[in-house]
Structure 1
Amino acid sequence: MKIKNVVLLVLMIPMFVIGQDSKLSMFDNFIGKTWKADGNWGDGSKFKQEITFKYALDHRIIITNAKGFINKEQTELGLRNHGVRRYDKTSNNIKFWEFDVFGGLTEGIVFAEGRNIVYQYSYGDSFVTDMWEYVDDSTYNFKIGNYKNGVWKQVYLSTQFKAIE
């Protein structure tokens, strides 16, 4: 009887591990690559970012590090953001926290729409959406704006991220 229990337990372990990993699997294509984008905000100011994604804590969280402009004048590039993505069992959502060099914290939820990755969060009085729209395994269209019911009401930034590694 004990051997049957041990065998059953050994067979079940991979299912538990796969079940835990699958909540963050939408990020698999981002892992181990550096993603780079250049563009302009709607007001004409420059947008430049390089971001890396990696798993941590036995695939229970995703860590991101982003380089971008680190001064208001947008003349200096450096480590700008440090982010965490984690599945929350209580709310059944993937939550994110993004800490920036200016002392800010942005937090919200992340979900998939097909192969697209959607971030939603409050920013001041606005509810904002960032979308990584899948083009191919090394390219995503990237938008930030007001997105409701599958329609962009207003777009603040539209550019493209490409994998460079």
Structure 2
Amino acid sequence: MKKFCILLSLLVILPVFLKAQKLLSLSGFADFTEGIWLTEGNWANGKSFKQEVDYYWGLNQKIIKVKTYGTINSETNEYGLRNEGIRSYNVKDSVLQFWEFDIYGGITSGTCFFEDKNLNYEYEYNGEFLRETWFYVDKNHYNYQIGSLKDGKIDKVYMKSSYCRVKK
């Protein structure tokens, strides 16, 4: 009877543990590495937003590297490489972290996590706590949103758009 209880406990706990491990691992990014993601939209203030994001594996699939292209000069609307980033699982703290390095010398860092197939980034920016979410639509489309967080919920939305995958 004791062996049965242990076995039953393992059968209940193991799927929960495996799901938690997947949420914290880099495996959720695998789908993002299979193309370049394009979006065009507008900020809440009306300014246009255009971006392409290229996710790819690095360091023997121990990190995700990201190159982001967008407007690099708002006066001339010059378009080019704007950010390079890294996504990595921090074993010590058991959390997915990210760092974005922009062409202006800025560094944005925070945590990222998956809820099912939705990808979330949370970070502080200019004194405000923000969440960026890629909402899964299908394997080639995500809806995208940037908003401020208050008490763990989106308080104000700054940007909504959608991403479409194109081949590399």
- The structure 1 residue matched to 2:103, chosen from 101, 104, 117, is 101
In structure 2, C-alpha distance between the alignment counterparts of 1:147 and 1:33, rounded to whole Å: 30
The letter of the residue matching 2:34 is G
Deviations 1:69-97 (Å, cap 9, x if unpaired)?
01132610000110000000111111000
In structure 2, C-alpha distance between the alignment counterparts of 1:163 and 1:143, rounded to whole Å: 17
Q: Is the 1:70–1:77 Cα contact (8 Å) retained in structure 2?
A: yes
Aligned to 2:165: 163
Aligned to 1:119: 121
Structure 1 residues 130 and 94: CA distance shift in structure 2, 3 A: same
Aligned to 2:80: 78
Please give the secondary structure, in 2, of the residue aligned with 1:91: coil
Structure 1 residue 23 and structure 2 residue 25: aligned? yes
Aligned to 2:13: none
Q: Is the 1:61–1:86 Cα contact (8 Å) retained in structure 2?
A: yes
The letter of the residue matching 1:34 is I
In structure 2, C-alpha distance between the alignment counterparts of 1:149 and 1:112, rounded to whole Å: 19
Aligned to 1:153: 155
Deviations 1:111-161 (Å, cap 9, x if unpaired)?
011110000000011000000000000000000002456742210000000
Q: Which runs of 5+ in 1 are unaligned?
A: 1-18
Aligned to 1:33: 35
Q: Is the 1:69–1:76 Cα contact (8 Å) retained in structure 2?
A: yes
Q: TM-score, normalised by structure 2?
A: 0.82
Aligned to 1:42: 44
Deviations 1:30-52 (Å, cap 9, x if unpaired)?
01300000000000111110011
Identity %: 38
Q: Is the 1:46–1:74 Cα contact (8 Å) retained in structure 2?
A: no
In structure 1, C-alpha distance between the alignment counterparts of 2:82 and 2:127, rounded to whole Å: 23
Please give the secondary structure, in 1, of the residue aligned with 2:28: helix
In structure 2, C-alpha distance between the alignment counterparts of 1:74 and 1:111, rounded to whole Å: 35
Q: CA RMSD in A?
A: 1.7
- The structure 2 residue matched to 1:140, chosen from 142, 146, 160, is 142
Q: What is the number of residues matched between the two proteins?
A: 146
The letter of the residue matching 1:37 is T
Q: Is the 1:131–1:143 Cα contact (8 Å) retained in structure 2?
A: yes
Q: Is the 1:106–1:121 Cα contact (8 Å) retained in structure 2?
A: yes
